[in-house]
Structure formats: C-alpha cells, structure tokens
Structure 1
C-alpha cells in the first residue's frame, strides 16, 4: 500500500500556500481599495498597527449578522431602499471573514459596500499601508458633516451633491463597521454621529417664523380670515388681494398691534381717520375698531383688518373724492387717478408718521389747503376767536347823487367786528358803515341767497352768525371735494409747471407758472342749462390766428336749420356758408375776418365737448359782473396778450408780443404750435381764497353745489367704481329734404359736396375722430345776430 501521508502533507502544504497567496492578494486588494492616505505621517501611523493573521474560519451563518441600529431611517420607503445594499454586503462579508480570520462582532451588512465604494490602486510592496487602510479615526468621523457620507477612512466625500438622503444615510451609518477587529472599538463612537447628522438631509426642518410668539395666534387668525371668500373688511377685490399679499409677505404678523397693544402705525392711522372732518370728509365713513376691547386673537385679527379697510377707504376718497364726477353732471370729464391699494399699505405702514402719510392722499394744492384752513375757521376751530355780530338797527350806505346829495354813511360800534367777519383789511378799527363795507355785505348776501341790498338787516346778521353746519361750510366742503377730481400735477413740469386755470363762477382765467400767477383776464362762459361750460382738463396744443368758425352740429340742427325754415336767406346775410356732405349731413362755416364769431384768435385744446377759448367781437359783455352768455366755449377779453404769454412760456426765445400777434391778423388761418402743450384746467369754484387771504363766495350758476350736497348727505356717492357716466344728449338730424327752397347750398346746383375733413378736424386740426357731440355744445355768434359760444 502506498503511504499517502507524505503526499497528503505535501498536498496540504500546496493548498495552504495557494490559499495563503490568494487570501493575501485578496486582502491586500480589498484593503487597498479603501486606502486614500498618502502622506508620510499617515503611513507611519498605519504601519504601527498590526494586521491579524489569516486563519481557518468556518463560513458565517445568519446568526453572525446583526441588524444595523446606528442609522435611523426616517420612513419605510428609505428602509426599503437599503435592502439591496444589505444583500450585496452579505455576500461580500463571506469573503471578508475568510480573508481576515476574525469575526467583527459589529460588522454591518453593508461593510463590503463601503469597502468597494472607492477602488484605489495600492502597490503590493507596501503591505503595512494596505493592511491598516481600513482604520476609522473617531475624530474624523465625528466631525464629518451630515452630507459627507463615505467609507470611514476617507477624509473627504462626494455625497454632498447627491439629493437623495436614504442611500447616504445607510452608507454613513455602516461605514465604520467595515474596519477589522482592532479598530472595532472606534465604531460605536464614530457610527452614531454621522447617522444623526444625516437625518436633517432626509427631512428638512420647517423654516422658523419671523412672527413674535405673542403675535402668532393673531397671525394664524389673519391667515384664516384673508383666505376666506366671505371676508367683508374690504369692499373691492383689488383691495382684498393687496391685503393678502401685504400680510403674507410678513408671515401674517399684525401691523397695527404688537402683543395686543397699538403700534405707532396704528395710532397714526386712527388719529387721521378720526380727524377726517378737517378735510371735509365724514369720519363715520371710516369706522375705527375698539382695540381696547379686543382681547382675543380672533378679535384682534378682526380689528386689524377692519382698520386696514378704513385706511384704504380714506386714502381712496381723499384722493379721488367721495363721489364720482359723472354723478354730478354729464359735462364733467377729468382724468382718473385711483389709488393703488398695495402702494397705500407700503407707504403708510413704512412711514415714520403714518398720519402724515395718509394725509398725503388729500390734494396738496395751495388753494385746497387755504380752503381747509378757512373751513376750520368757519367751524370756530381757527387760531383766532369766533366773531359774532351783535343785533342792532339796520345799517345802510347811500351813495352820493351828484353835487346835490352827499353820500350817507352810518356809524355803529358793530362795524369793526363786521369788517373782521367779512375779511376787510382796510381801516379795521373804523366804525363807519361806508361803501367798502356795504359792498362786502352785498357780496355776502349774494353768496347765501339773500337779496343783495347791501343793508345789514336782521336776516343778514343771522346769516353771519349761522351755526357751525351752515351754508358757507357746505359750500367750502363741496369745493374741497371738487379739488379731489383735479390732477395732482396741474401743469407741465418742463416749462415751470405752467398751466391755465379757468374758474367758471368767477369768470376769470389765470396763467400760472412756478407757483405764481403770471397773467389773468376776464372771460365769458356758457349759459346755465343746456349750454353750460364743461369742467375738464386737457392740453392746449396750438393757437390759430384768423380762425374759420365751423359751426357745431348742435347749433346747426337745433338752431340754424329751424331758422332756415322761417328765412331761407338768413345764412347768406350772416356771412355763413352751408355745405352738404356725402353722407347727407350739413356743414356750416364762417370764413376768417374781423366779424368772425371767434374773433381773431382761437385757443385749441381738443376735447370731447368740442369747446375751446377764443376772441369775440362782442367786447361789451366783459363789463358785466355775471358773464354767462356763450354756448359753452369761453370768450377771452384780451386774446392777443393771452397768446403772447402762452407762446413766451413754451418758446421763451421767440419774444412774442401782443403787437406781433396783431400783425398776423388777416384773411388766412395761421397756426402757432406749442413745442410743449400747456394743460388747461376748467374748474367750478364757488368758494376760494383770494390773493389777500379772504374767503370769497360766488353764485352757484349751474347748481353744482346743490347736486353735490345732496349726494354727500345721502351717501349716494360711495361706490365710485360702479358709477357709469351719463350718456351725452344727442340731437336729431332732420332729413336732407327738410331744407326749405331757396337755401343756398355750396356746390354746383346744390349737389352733394364732400367738404373734406370731418368736423372735429375742422375744429381742432387732424387729431382724429371725436365722440358724438352733445346738444348743448356748440358755438355760434350772429353777425349782428349770429349765435356763438
């Protein structure tokens, strides 16, 4: 029998040699894959740590594997994501345990995944570095940020850029367990730290609120209220939207209260709302919640939004008015300038003085502020004492009648008080009831609908001593309201804020520049009723010397055509030319000349009402105290001076003079265009403060004050945006066949004649099509009986 023992030993030696070689190479390669240290200091430390010898170790069983308890998986989904890694690691561990001949008690299923994560080439000649490359330094692991998830011996990681959190959390938690037995002591310390740090990456923390803790309940309630569609604190959708945007930007923190107490912003807004009467507004329109009684978050949130709603109501009405101008008359047209609710929130809440910021929505014009001051004086709130006129005998002044009868003046101790009450600065201490006092009394009587006799009787004394809510106060309030309709910028900024302002009840036109009056003249305005001069703001673009008068359709169809029925030759005798357009309409015009209804100059500011300013042959009307005689246009007393003033503002180097303007008079139209258009503001001021600081009143010739007072007292002008402007009246056009026989129609044999430009172009130049003209618009003057505006 053959002795096989030696052969067996030889075979065993071969197997052991092969196995040792294989295991050595495998271990070297495996450990080398985790090696990233290359500095001399690190290599020296690695060399000092012994490497365990290989041993015959039985294959691992299921009991050798422990559940990974160092990585806190936030949810089931993330736990599921790690299963493939565990399975792969289990297979890798079989090889690992055979190679190291040791069983690491804390080894995790993902050990070999951590080892295999980053292959590194290591020279076989450096076993010490390879053998110790799996060491995990506790300090390195503990200080690694949550996103740095790599094998334990890697000083730097690349996982910070990976958004998924589940895989990095598993790798970070299990990486320290991949170390051999001698390094196992460091694993319990190193593993929990990165696992804990990695948790925020898988579930981001909620951003901290900027709302103070004491205001958070109110903020939560504000969020709920603003999200509700049934919220009634704001009447308009754009205001509700602006409030939602404003409060959401501040995490719904209240702005008018803090910790249940009013802030300076809240106090300022409340103060302005309670003082609304000083600007002619009604404080009852802007209710102020009782913050003292608001003790719960619900009550504070409700009060917050109610005050915000009142703030927006005040700003809107202070800027645009308590009523819309279209509610008053169809012949009013001003540019809209509504508030921006978002801008109000930002402006008022960020201002140092919220009351002043809210007051800024009122008109800032000088004449408005002067009326506001006079309103306070009329209410007895002025700086000086309230002046009352004592009862007594009637006082009168009788003017002199030639040389035979001298003027009769009465003396009375009440006259000084009367002078103060009426704003007479001349001889303030005089007790003589002279002509100056009598004229002032007469003017006051006209303003309060008393017979203008100039006699100080009991009714006049009673009117002078009227209670606080008297006619004068009402008149001042409606005039302050009309100032809200006007643009905040009245003039053209690039020519010294120059503008024209015409006051209909005062029959006066003024040219303003740099805040001062440059020039003034008398005007004639439209008759009350159908021919009232409209209120508007437009820009004057040019003037026309030697204008052709194109009769407005309203005058043609309402006045001239009926006149032709009685006298077919009337137009010829008046110097007017009648033409028939292709569409059957009638056009009547008057050529330039001295007798032209427009005089020598027309001032053009194109508008829907077809009105303008112009010269007139009828100069005698300017001598009258009340001058409402036109068909709607405005006749200017000194047009040559007016033209030179405007031209010198727009072209200061051209040196226009009245004489130069008059030298252009002739039979051909001459247009002088303005490089910069000048705004024209036609107003209706029955109460104003004159240059001497005196409060003046004028007759309400068009009844505008009465209409506005009715709207204000009945609160019918609240919803401005829902108001639709009244339709302009229309005129009826009789059929062409209604022209009587004998009427001279321009064109061959009275045939159809295309008159060229439409009426609006004839009137103002080629600016486009106008809206249908109203009945009352028009302008005409009769040559000796020619009707004109």
Structure 2
C-alpha cells in the first residue's frame, strides 16, 4: 500500500497560500467598498457601466495530480504578507493597469488544465483583480465627450444647418408663424420627431412635396378660396440656412391654413346668423402634417380636404366656366318690344306666340332647346321667368325693358359670388351626409328651392315640394340632425313663441278664438299656459309629423292647407317644413330603415285616426337642411334661386370686409328659451283642465312633449269623446 503522506507537505503549503490570499483579497475588497464614495450621478454610473468586467474562467478545481512533488518551493508557495501586498497593489491600481489585469484574468480560459497552476504565486494577482471593483475610466478628450453627449442624428449633413436654425426658431420665433396654440404645439412636435429636418427642401432644393403643396395653394381660387390667404415663400431666393428655415415654416403655416379653411370654411357659420347649427369637423394639424408629408402626391392629398360631395364638385366646375365666360364678351340682347307668351284659354283656344329675331340669342343665353328658333314660346317664357326670379326681378315671364337691361349688365360677377358663397356653405356640412348602415341614406332639404329629396347610395330615391319659414324671425334654420321616428296622428303642442306672440293677443280680441280653432288651453302649476291641438283632420300638423329633435323646435309635417304647394315661392310657415306628400315620404323612410316591413302610402293612411302612433327607426336617418341658392341640376345646368333670407349678401359682405382670423371665431349667441312666463288671460276664456295639467303630466317640458322626452301629455276630452290610446311601434 502506497504511502500518500510523502510529499504532502508541499500540497498543504499550496492550499494554505491560496486560502490566505483569498482571505486577504476579500478583506481588501470590503475595505475598498466601504471607503469608496457612492456614485450617484448618471455620468458616473454610465462610466462604470462602460468599463469591461472580467469574466471568471471555467476551469476545473485543482487535484493532487496537478502538482509535482519536486516543484521548487518558491514557485509553489507564497507567503501571506506577499499575497496581501499584491492584492492591495492591485486594488489601488489606476485604469491604465486595467487592460493587463483583464488579460491576466482571462488567460486561464485559454490555458490547458495541466498548466493552469504551474506558477501559483504569479496567478494569484489576476484572481484578486477579478473581484475588485472597477476603477473609474480616464476622462475622454473634449471632442469625444461632445460626441457622446449628443445623440446620433439622421439629418443629412447638407440639411443640418437648416435643422439647427429650425431648432432655434422654435425656441423663440415660431409664434409669428403659428398663432394658434394647438397648431404651434403640433408643428413643434412634428419637427422635433424629425430632429428638425426640413420637409420642403433637401440640400437646399425644393422637394416634390413642396412643389405639390405650392401648386395647390396657388390654385386655391379654383375651390372658391382666396390664394392671397395662403402666401407661398420664394425658395429660389432662399440661399442661406436662415432664409430656408423661414421659408420652411411659412409654407407649413400656409398649408395648415389651407387645409383648415378647405375643410371647415373661411368663416364659421355662427358669423352669419343664430339660426344655423352644423356639427363641427375641424382639421387635426398633427394629422395634416403626417398626411401631407408622407403622401405620394402632396397636391392631391391637400385637395382632399375640400368637400367631396357631388354638389360641391359640380359648383366647382361651374365656377371655372363662369370665370371663363367673364373674360369673354357677351353679346347683348337688343332693344325691342316686350315679348310675352299667353297660354290657350277657353276664349282664345290658340296660345299667343310672338316672333322676334332676338329669341335665338335668348335661347342660347338661357340654355333653351332649338337655339335657332325665333318664336317666343312657352319654353323661352319659362326660362325668362326663372331668370327673373333668380335676379330679384318680378317673375312674369315677359321679356320687358328691365329684364333686357339686367341681362346686358355685367351680372356674371354676381353669379360668381353666388357660387362662391354656396361652395362655402358646402364646407359647413358633414363629410358623411348619410347613415352608412342603410346605404348612406339621408334627407336633403333646400330652402330656396322649396324641395326635399331622399338620397340613398348616391342617387335620389324620392322628392317632394315643401313650404318653409317666412323671412325674418320665422326663417327655417340650417342644421344637420337625425330623424329618429315619425308620429302618425300627432298632437300639436303650440310653441311658446306662437302662444305669446299670436294666440294671447288674439284672445284679447276674441276669447272664443281657441275653441273655434279646436285648440285646448291649460294652465301649468308655475302659472304659465299651454295650448295644444288634438289629432285629427284639422290638426295644424296634418296626419304625420317627422321628428328630428333640435334646439330650434322645428320639424317636418303634413298640413291641411294643400293649396300653398301650387305656388312657386313657398315661404309661409313659422319655421317648420310642410311636406306635400307625407304618406309617400313616410313610406320611403320606413322602407329604408325597415325594408322587411313593406310599408306603402296606403298602409300609412290606414293608420289615420285619433291615436298617436310612433314609428321608430332602427337606424336614425340624417336630415340636412341647407340653403343652396346655386346648384347644378340633373341636366348639368347651373340653377340660381332667389336669396329669400338674404344669406348670400351677408356672407359676401363678411368675406370682403372681414379678416379671416375674425371670421373663424365662433360668435356666441343667445340660445332659444323654452320658458313660459305667466300669462294674464282675459275674462271669459275657459281653461280645459282647471289648472291640473302640470301635475297630471309629471312636469314635462315643452321640448319633451314635442320630441318624445317622456310620456305624451294627456289631452282633454270633448263631451262624449272616448279616451284615446297612444301606440308606439
């Protein structure tokens, strides 16, 4: 049996040296950690993170076979003091010693296991270095430090001078280009994300995006806008970074102005009157910047902010034609006797048709068929009548001296103005006119044309004549709302304005007037009065009411007075819109919203009676009430209508005399009041419910009664009348 105790003393000495060295190094590291000042700053932590740390070598632990018994003592042992001094020297070394220490620490990974501890005394210092905390790196040169502090930029070197100027301008001067806080913040954020790289120039030359935007701004007049409102900088004269940066921001500001006015209008609708209410649809400057800067065709992208509606696009074409005709002299209509056409009558079975050499010119001017015909027939007379109506002349159909003088005067400019203000009003309308769930169906009512159209899938489904509000305080308001249901056999709850302005004065003259009209007078608990008319043939709303709740308290409805629909000018109501064929209108709407129920006009008329029936739409249908004094008909002809409310004149005066910034401001106007002051009822006027009405209906407001905010108010019964029931479908 071999004696392994021989030669063991050398191995024990090695183990003792290794243990002593480990204890010394651990104590030194702990002392250094306690004495070192904390590194709290970001820069110090960043330097520490940048210093490479040695990785421990993956070496198997030593065995007895790895040591030679006859190895020299000096090579296999190390005294504790020597090891301690070595470790202290290593811990206190500067960064210039770190590469050597790192190399020494990594060396064992590349050494064979049999050679790993051939010189233990020499291998000990690297081991001590591996566990010591890294020393701070030497301070880099100033130019290197500057590159480290400044993040890498993606701006091309040729654009960096302009980018630096833009950075400075946003710090001080950009407010003079963007006086709207929202736009300024969006623009600054946009350029900051690009590291202030310009979008309109590249290496000093204009980009394709800039050329597209400039072309669109210069052609603003084709869309009824004023190109002077969107100044274009001269990039060719900008030959310095300062000038290029200034031109950059000027073009960005003009682009945002164009997009905003193209979409929402040069003026806010509240500037015109208080009876307009359209939903707001302002532009988002962040979206505009992102859209135009990334578009393949910047000009087309900017043009897309104009209304997409067919009516607007057709007016745009007519505007170009009118401006072209203005530049071309128009042949005047010659003087001569008055021309008229007389229809056949019982006394005179043959119509009176005059012949005149001026008629072919009239036909050409007014787009009447058979342009070479010299007879002043019914077609020419009707065209003359429409011209007179649209030019504030007495619409007689007679070509008299005043009409000839109007035709020969430079009226094209006035026609251009009319087209311009109508294009402006198109910008107020929502971009989505209809309900997408039912084929983009919507109702379009044009006040000056006295017509109502039902549209679906871009085509006209149905149309009828309407009666609208009288000029002045009873003008029909312009708005977009949604029709939620229709009421068959409606109760007419008289609006407070009619009660106090018309019925109360009438009661002073005749205390029985309400009874004779079939109206019921009640007093509310607060002392105010309420007047209503039960359903029936004589009801002022007729047999059907079309409900789209709105702050103006107007709606569309039937009427017992059918004779007004035969007139050319039909502005007679208190603001509501009377429909000529309500049963057909109801069936059309119901078939759009509920196609499986197969409504017909006959089915609607079968519901007529004395019980209110609400037919609710599963999908509400938008109702757009507009004021189009100029529009293009189905034959492609420009139609002009009389400005019955004076809206065109108001808008042209504002556009010519006001500044755009002022016109964009919203004008605060008084909201309609539904309060009903206490009324003094004259002697002899009988109430129908002895003042208990308010308690019986739960305190419903007039607005709720009108548009279904709660249960309908009970109506007083005549002697012998059976109770009515209200049905909701």
TM-score class normalised by the smaller sequence:
0.7 to 0.9
Provide the C-alpha distance between the structure 1 equivalents of 2:351 and 2:76, rounded to a whole number of angstroms: 148
Match for 1:26 among 8, 17, 20?
17
Provide the C-alpha distance between the structure 1 equivalents of 2:325 and 2:630, rounded to a whole number of angstroms: 19
- Distance change in 2, residues 1:456/1:578 (3 Å): closer
Provide the C-alpha distance between the structure 2 equivalents of 1:376 and 1:730, rounded to a whole number of angstroms: 45
Deviation of residue 597 (structure 1)? 0.6
Deviations 1:665-693 (A, max 9, x none): 01111111111110000000000011111
1:705 and 2:704 are equivalent in the alignment: no
Matches within 5 A, 1:342-741: 342-380=286-324, 386=328, 388-394=330-336, 396-400=339-343, 402=345, 403=348, 406-412=351-357, 415-424=359-368, 426-456=369-399, 460=403, 463-464=406-407, 467=410, 470-719=413-662, 722-728=665-671, 735-736=678-679, 738-741=680-683
- Distance change in 2, residues 1:709/1:30 (3 Å): same
Provide the C-alpha distance between the structure 2 equivalents of 1:381 and 1:322, rounded to a whole number of angstroms: 26
* 3-state SS in 2 of match to 1:211: coil
1:188 alignment counterpart: none
Provide the C-alpha distance between the structure 1 equivalents of 2:310 and 2:202, rounded to a whole number of angstroms: 38
- Distance change in 2, residues 1:475/1:352 (3 Å): same
Deviations 1:11-35 (A, max 9, x none): xxxxxx999985896379869x999
| 8 A contact 1:89–1:112 mirrored in 2 | no
- Distance change in 2, residues 1:167/1:564 (3 Å): same
Provide the C-alpha distance between the structure 2 equivalents of 1:441 and 1:52, rounded to a whole number of angstroms: 130
| 8 A contact 2:341–2:398 mirrored in 1 | no
1:216 and 2:140 are equivalent in the alignment: no
Provide the C-alpha distance between the structure 1 equivalents of 2:245 and 2:707, rounded to a whole number of angstroms: 57
- Distance change in 2, residues 1:355/1:464 (3 Å): farther
- Distance change in 2, residues 1:90/1:531 (3 Å): same
* 3-state SS in 1 of match to 2:482: strand
Which runs of 5 or more structure 1 residues have no equivalent in the other structure?
A: 1-16, 62-84, 95-105, 137-149, 160-165, 174-194, 770-789
Match for 2:685 among 739, 743, 761?
743
* 3-state SS in 1 of match to 2:452: strand
| 8 A contact 1:35–1:134 mirrored in 2 | no
- Distance change in 2, residues 1:450/1:747 (3 Å): closer
- Distance change in 2, residues 1:39/1:483 (3 Å): same
2:217 alignment counterpart: 273
Deviation of residue 303 (structure 1)? 1.1
Provide the C-alpha distance between the structure 1 equivalents of 2:583 and 2:339, rounded to a whole number of angstroms: 43
| 8 A contact 1:746–1:753 mirrored in 2 | no
Tell which structure's C-alpha radius of gyration is larger. 1
- Distance change in 2, residues 1:400/1:509 (3 Å): closer
* 3-state SS in 1 of match to 2:341: coil
Deviations 1:95-149 (A, max 9, x none): xxxxxxxxxxx995998999899999x99xx98530257989xxxxxxxxxxxxx
2:241 alignment counterpart: 297
Deviations 1:399-447 (A, max 9, x none): 25643775232242x54454333233x2244343332123212322332
Deviation of residue 264 (structure 1)? 0.8
| 8 A contact 2:105–2:126 mirrored in 1 | no
Deviation of residue 374 (structure 1)? 0.4
Deviations 1:464-488 (A, max 9, x none): 4655861100000000101111100
Provide the C-alpha distance between the structure 2 equivalents of 1:515 and 1:112, rounded to a whole number of angstroms: 82
* 3-state SS in 2 of match to 1:653: helix
Higher mean C-alpha displacement, 127-136 vs 401-410: 127-136
Deviations 1:696-735 (A, max 9, x none): 0111111111110111111345345532332146699553
2:265 alignment counterpart: 321
| 8 A contact 2:14–2:77 mirrored in 1 | no
Deviation of residue 520 (structure 1)? 0.4
- Distance change in 2, residues 1:88/1:201 (3 Å): farther
Provide the C-alpha distance between the structure 2 equivalents of 1:248 and 1:595, rounded to a whole number of angstroms: 69
Provide the C-alpha distance between the structure 1 equivalents of 2:438 and 2:78, rounded to a whole number of angstroms: 103
1:255 alignment counterpart: 199
Match for 1:766 among 709, 713, 717?
709
| 8 A contact 2:514–2:520 mirrored in 1 | yes
1:207 alignment counterpart: 151
| 8 A contact 1:135–1:153 mirrored in 2 | no
* 3-state SS in 2 of match to 1:348: helix
Structure 2-normalised TM-score?
A: 0.81
| 8 A contact 1:335–1:537 mirrored in 2 | yes
Provide the C-alpha distance between the structure 2 equivalents of 1:587 and 1:581, rounded to a whole number of angstroms: 7
Provide the C-alpha distance between the structure 1 equivalents of 2:645 and 2:668, rounded to a whole number of angstroms: 18
1:130 alignment counterpart: 117
- Distance change in 2, residues 1:36/1:217 (3 Å): closer
2:88 alignment counterpart: 89
Deviation of residue 293 (structure 1)? 1.5
Provide the C-alpha distance between the structure 2 equivalents of 1:292 and 1:325, rounded to a whole number of angstroms: 39
Deviation of residue 364 (structure 1)? 0.5
Provide the C-alpha distance between the structure 2 equivalents of 1:466 and 1:553, rounded to a whole number of angstroms: 47
- Distance change in 2, residues 1:211/1:554 (3 Å): same
Deviations 1:372-418 (A, max 9, x none): 10011000079xx9572244233623325643775232242x54454
Provide the C-alpha distance between the structure 1 equivalents of 2:474 and 2:78, rounded to a whole number of angstroms: 118
Provide the C-alpha distance between the structure 1 equivalents of 2:99 and 2:292, rounded to a whole number of angstroms: 63
Deviation of residue 519 (structure 1)? 0.4
Deviation of residue 323 (structure 1)? 0.8
* 3-state SS in 1 of match to 2:471: coil
- Distance change in 2, residues 1:112/1:462 (3 Å): same
* 3-state SS in 2 of match to 1:214: coil
Provide the C-alpha distance between the structure 2 equivalents of 1:690 and 1:377, rounded to a whole number of angstroms: 16
Deviations 1:242-282 (A, max 9, x none): 10111111110110111111111111111111111111111
Provide the C-alpha distance between the structure 1 equivalents of 2:152 and 2:636, rounded to a whole number of angstroms: 60
| 8 A contact 1:393–1:457 mirrored in 2 | no
- Distance change in 2, residues 1:227/1:431 (3 Å): farther
* 3-state SS in 2 of match to 1:539: strand
| 8 A contact 1:601–1:639 mirrored in 2 | yes
CA RMSD of aligned residues (A): 4.4
- Distance change in 2, residues 1:734/1:505 (3 Å): same
Provide the C-alpha distance between the structure 2 equivalents of 1:111 and 1:87, rounded to a whole number of angstroms: 15
1:232 alignment counterpart: 176
Deviation of residue 169 (structure 1)? 5.8
- Distance change in 2, residues 1:730/1:91 (3 Å): closer
Deviation of residue 295 (structure 1)? 1.3
Provide the C-alpha distance between the structure 2 equivalents of 1:768 and 1:297, rounded to a whole number of angstroms: 71
| 8 A contact 1:330–1:726 mirrored in 2 | yes
Which runs of 5 or more structure 2 residues have no equivalent in the other structure?
A: 1-7, 26-54, 713-729
Deviation of residue 758 (structure 1)? 1.9
- Distance change in 2, residues 1:153/1:590 (3 Å): same
| 8 A contact 1:580–1:755 mirrored in 2 | no
